[in-house]
Structure 1
Amino acid sequence: MGEKITFAALDGSAEIPGYLAQPEAGATAAIIVVPEIFGVNAGIRQKCEAWAEMGYVALAPDIFWRFAPGVELDPDVPEQLQEAFGYAGQYDPELGIQDIEAAIRFLRGQDGVGKIGLVGFCMGGRMAYMAATRTDIDASVGYYGVMIDQMLGESHAIANPLLLHIPTADHFVAPDAQKAIHDALDAHPKVTLHDYEGLDHGFAAETGNRRDEAGAALADGRTREFFAHHLG
């Protein structure tokens, strides 16, 4: 089972809350799980536990710790969905990258941990792309990342493997944005893109109305294989 922890912010001025799940045996790799805009809720904790069961140390940082620490929201509750949109508007991805750097540093200090991966969802999917362009993360996976089309000028900086899951009916990532992502990244030697025809944003959520069982199983299987190959 996992536990709530804190780890030092990059500048050492504060402690970042997070959820840490560890395997029963020693791990040689770790995975940072960057949440959606709903915080480190039960679904994100479930994802961490699943990674720990597969032998990885898994850490989900609280992305809203600066202004809404500990918040957990349910996207199927309209009021909570609107609350999440408000927090997303306050979120600064530049500071978010610093928090990912802090998580990398924390995990590199864990006994036996060598390589580190990152998987992010929604806004966390955007952070997965930014981590690939701005950090030394060993491998990154983004699910239905938003606003990546606006950051394609950074793609030359991707030095380690990046996998992006793109649902074609994502109502937060329009077809022209999806086309821009494919046009810029299809030929990139470090990037793999997978489209999910007819699926919408949030299809790989652990629970709730957005989940698509077949799509989630396919994407999660690809993610497991990707990390096994690049973090093994």
Structure 2
Amino acid sequence: MLKLIKITAISNQLTKMKIKITSNNGETFSAYLKAPTSRPAPGLIIIQEIFGVNEVMRNIADKYAQAGYVAIVPDLFWRQEANIELTDRSESDWQKAFELYQNFDENKGVDDLISTMKTLKELPECTGKIGSIGFCLGGKLAYLMATRSQAECNVSYYGVGIEKNLDEATNIQNPLMLHLAEKDEYVSPEIQSQLKIELSNYPLVTIHSYPNVNHGFARIEGKDYNLEATNLAQNRTMEFFQKYLD
């Protein structure tokens, strides 16, 4: 069940809109959606970092729409503060982002992502095939989508806290790709080693490591952005989506 709020044509090639999604308890939350004109197309859920649905997340959705996917970015902080947009460029934004992160309920977040997936499947623009891609907090949630949802495939960029839910890996039924930043200050080398060892038992899981880069290496214009690692990860991700969604 969804409500369209605004629809805008973009260069006669893409359509963007803000929609309302009904949660499993009947409340609604917003999402940014961008769709290509070549439809129907596979759906892709872009899962936010701790900074909310900001320009970075919308730009990622725009790029995947240009690549031929119906891309949607749900606002997962709506229970705390709806429509918040933060950056990694100020101390006050970092403090606010960590406050939101620390009070975030991951289980409800996954429920909201599953509600988003159901909504996306209902859209005539979508083929019904759905994948997810998440960054930071969203990287953890992309892993949980692999363990708790029927999404066709999922991609995690520098997900934080995956080790706390490794017991759920037995539930993975569809392909999952993890991108790890070897200098990630939030995911220690010991934890990265643990992930590689324990998830190596699951043939549906692929893990790529990127040396000499920090958490957030794919955040364009972010303080830790690394072009080379971003391009390599992006190429691997696109091949992955083309294989399992197209």
Match of 2:163 among 149, 168, 175: 149
Alpha-carbon deviation of 1:108?
Answer: 0.7
Alpha-carbon deviation of 1:133?
Answer: 0.3
Alpha-carbon deviation of 1:221?
Answer: 1.0
Q: Given that residues 27 and 55 in structure 1 are in contact (C-alpha distance below 8 angstroms), is that contact kept between their aligned partners in structure 2? A: no
For 2:115, the equivalent position in structure 1 comes to 102
Q: Given that residues 125 and 144 in structure 1 are in contact (C-alpha distance below 8 angstroms), is that contact kept between their aligned partners in structure 2? A: yes
Q: Given that residues 107 and 113 in structure 1 are in contact (C-alpha distance below 8 angstroms), is that contact kept between their aligned partners in structure 2? A: no
Alpha-carbon deviation of 1:187?
Answer: 3.1
Alpha-carbon deviation of 1:150?
Answer: 1.3
Match of 1:172 among 186, 209, 217: 186
CA distance in structure 1 between the partners assigned to 2:142 and 2:92 by the alignment: 27
C-alpha offsets along residues 193-229 of structure 1, whole Å, 9 cap, x if unaligned? 0000111100001222221011111111111110000
Match of 1:200 among 206, 214, 239: 214
- 5+ residue gaps, structure 1, are none
Identity of aligned residues (%): 36
More strand by percentage: 2
For 1:75, the equivalent position in structure 2 comes to 88
Query: Alignment partner of 1:216: what SS?
Result: helix
Letter in 2 for 1:169: K
Is residue 2:113 matched to residue 1:135?
no
Query: Alignment partner of 1:188: what SS?
Result: coil
CA distance in structure 2 between the partners assigned to 1:27 and 1:186 by the alignment: 35
Is residue 2:98 matched to residue 1:90?
no
Is residue 2:225 matched to residue 1:211?
yes
For 1:35, the equivalent position in structure 2 comes to 48
Q: Given that residues 18 and 61 in structure 1 are in contact (C-alpha distance below 8 angstroms), is that contact kept between their aligned partners in structure 2? A: yes
Alpha-carbon deviation of 1:24?
Answer: 1.6
C-alpha offsets along residues 55-103 of structure 1, whole Å, 9 cap, x if unaligned? 1100000010111101000112111011100000111001011101101
Q: Given that residues 121 and 143 in structure 1 are in contact (C-alpha distance below 8 angstroms), is that contact kept between their aligned partners in structure 2? A: yes
For 2:6, the equivalent position in structure 1 comes to none
CA distance in structure 2 between the partners assigned to 1:3 and 1:218 by the alignment: 30
CA distance in structure 2 between the partners assigned to 1:209 and 1:24 by the alignment: 34
Q: Given that residues 29 and 57 in structure 1 are in contact (C-alpha distance below 8 angstroms), is that contact kept between their aligned partners in structure 2? A: yes
Letter in 2 for 1:84: A
C-alpha offsets along residues 155-194 of structure 1, whole Å, 9 cap, x if unaligned? 1100000000001100000111111101111231100000
- Give runs of aligned pairs for residues 179-190 of structure 1, distance below 5 A: 179-190=193-204
C-alpha offsets along residues 117-143 of structure 1, whole Å, 9 cap, x if unaligned? 000000000000000001111100000
User: How many residues are paired up?
Assistant: 231
Alpha-carbon deviation of 1:7?
Answer: 1.3
Could you state the TM-score of these two structures normalised by the residue count of structure 2? 0.92
